[in-house]
Structure 1
Amino acid sequence: MASADSLEAEVITSNERFTVTLIISALKAMQALMRLTGLSKTDVINRSVQVYGFLAEQMNDGKEVLLRDREGNLEKVHIL
């Protein structure tokens, strides 16, 4: 089995093509993101994976994801 470091190097040095089947909620979220951002499906998926990776690393380090509304109220985000 390859180590995480070698997999990371592989991802950085090459593009990979995938075929995925999205569940309905993920498809709706992707379509909403495309409308909101004007990005392509590929760009939405690439950015989504990057953001999820960043958040997973931060949570793994013991950090929390919080949202602050305009009034300054905080809400903890739970990512399952």
Structure 2
Amino acid sequence: MSTLPKGAAAQEWQNAGPTRITVNLAPKAAAALDQAVKLTGDTKTDTINRALQIYAYLERVTQDGGALYTRPADGDELERLHFV
């Protein structure tokens, strides 16, 4: 883990340019990627980039003691999200 402050670490990555990686997706993850691409119209690359940013944000919220909630479209009550 970086010892740089969050702002400095983010600036460091912004200046680094693109990083090419190869990833093997499990069938469920590949299906989720395909579904997200269809829903958004974004490329697979853009979808993965966005998903990683959202994941990092959600992890930061929960590790800092926060909680995440969602409300289904047909529901009135909030449901707390738990990531395992």
Give the TM-score taking structure 2 as reference length. 0.81
Pairwise CA distance, 1:5:
2.3
The whole-number CA distance in structure 2 between the counterparts of 1:68 and 1:34 is 23
Q: Residue 4 of structure 2: SS of its match in structure 1?
A: helix
Deviations 1:54-75 (A, max 9, x none): 0000001111110123442111
Gap regions ≥5 residues in structure 1? none
Say if 2:24 is the partner of 1:25: no
2:4 is aligned to 5
Pairwise CA distance, 1:44:
0.5
Amino acid at match of 2:83: I
Gap regions ≥5 residues in structure 2? none
Q: How many percent identity over aligned positions? A: 33
Pairwise mapping of residues 1-80 of structure 1 onto structure 2 (< 5 A)? Answer: 3-5=2-4, 8=9, 9-14=11-16, 15-70=18-73, 71-80=75-84
The whole-number CA distance in structure 2 between the counterparts of 1:4 and 1:23 is 32
For the structure 1 residues 74 and 39, does the alpha-carbon distance in structure 2 shift closer, same or farther, using more than 3 Å as the test? same
> Pairwise CA RMSD of aligned residues?
2.0
* Number of matched pairs: 79
Amino acid at match of 1:11: W
The whole-number CA distance in structure 2 between the counterparts of 1:12 and 1:4 is 17
